[in-house]
Structure 1
């Protein structure tokens, strides 16, 4: 089982679009069992699959008191189905925005509870309930993103290849490096250029990331089909599988499954 956090501290880089389409491709094309965890207070991943339910959310999980007798079962009880066969979801809610790192220090947030659940889900033979757990992280470093990185095996960084995003990479890499002190197994699977179009600056930016020693996944071309997908609340496999972005996401997932990883 592999647990991957989809993370960037900058918004508007297609984190949720990447998470949703990864899950759909893994489930349909590779017959994998996938769990999504929505750690973003904007809850776009949750909304994509129809909103919250009467079950618990990630915010409820992170607020569990240390004395709670069985946090793993509580996590499992929060899981619900989605519109994609083979894909389940632990939803988020907007109270995630209240879970800042100061509450971790005060003991009001259990940063390691997701890791406990992931370890239990792996089972003794590492062939547990799910094949992949994908965590849609917020565009900020807070208690939810910290909990995600404590639980994750690796990280994918979707990035729009503009000057602001590239300048923010240094801070992001420092945060990841700091989290490896808590979770030494945490790796950077790679950087995923999104909303790509043919341009000399785009190509130069890809080369710059590769020259810095980062694994750069095959880019995702800009496509209006992505906007349409979000309105229809169905992944590209269902709406526009042969669109530029649809083809590119399948190519990316194939590269992801090859498992090339680099230490931060």
Structure 2
């Protein structure tokens, strides 16, 4: 199983949109995909047509529930560990339950289920708290969506420094790719930011960027990924391309 944490400490960077659409694009490639929604907002869960929760994920981490009981299938070929408001207290729950070993709980559960899925995508909260630390300890790879806006490169550099610190605990962790998101061909700043990302981070940046799509908000409201909401939208070709490149960038399964 390839374990990929999708991380950006800044909200509105396209993180959840990327997690959802990459999950469905990978499923289209006949990959078995688990999406773990670690965000207390539960937006990835909602996007895939499920009710927000979080209780099942918490109980799984604490060893009180099995994967069979916790995971929910979707109509889009992706299995989901639902997120929701219950996860807002995840930092406290993990600390009180297991002390300093709390961030290891997700890794332990994924270790036990590593033959069940080909990919586990972890949609992290927009911060670097215990939930995100748990994802970085459990993952072998990090995918970083970056909104094409001013200061993007500086924020990305800081995030990479934080990831390097986590490598003290998880030496296998590496950045598998940087994905420019919400780019706009008519916006010179957007183009300049994307060019700067490619210059500064080289081959880490995916070949395909994700253009801004006005129908994303509508598809979220409809609780359908763009694959079902607007199958001919150009953004899907972009996400399908990124999914194929992600497969090619793969590391040996843990």
Task: Settle same-fold status: TM greater than 0.5.
Answer: yes
- Residue 210 of structure 2 aligns to a residue whose secondary structure is coil
**Superposed, which structure 2 residues align to 1:1-264 within 5 Å?**
1-28=1-28, 30-48=29-47, 49-52=49-52, 56-62=55-61, 64=62, 71=63, 74-85=66-77, 87-100=78-91, 104=95, 107=99, 110-122=102-114, 128-198=115-185, 199-214=187-202, 215-217=204-206, 218-259=208-249
Unaligned runs of 5+ in 1: 65-70, 123-127
SS in 2 for 1:100: helix
Offset at residue 167 of structure 1 (A): 2.9
Q: Tell me how far apart the structure 2 counterparts of residues 31 and 248 of structure 1 sit (CA, whole Å).
A: 18
Instruction: Give the structure with the higher percent helix.
Output: 2
TM (norm. structure 1) is 0.84
- Displacement of 1:149: 0.6
**Deviation per CA, 1:150-178, whole angstroms, max 9, x where unpaired?**
11110111111111433322321121111
CA 76–179 in structure 1, closer or farther in 2 if over 3 Å, else same: farther
Tell me the matched-pair count.
246
Change beyond 3 A, Cα 1:117–1:72: farther
Counterpart contact for 1:229–1:239, Cα < 8 Å: yes
CA contact (8 A) 2:42 2:52 kept: no
1:4, 1:154 within 8 Å by CA — same for their partners in 2? yes
- SS of aligned partner of 2:46: helix
Q: CA–CA distance in 1 between the matches of 2:81 and 2:156?
A: 28
Q: Distance in 1 between matches of 2:64 and 2:249?
A: 28
The runs of 5 or more residues in structure 2 that have no matched partner are none
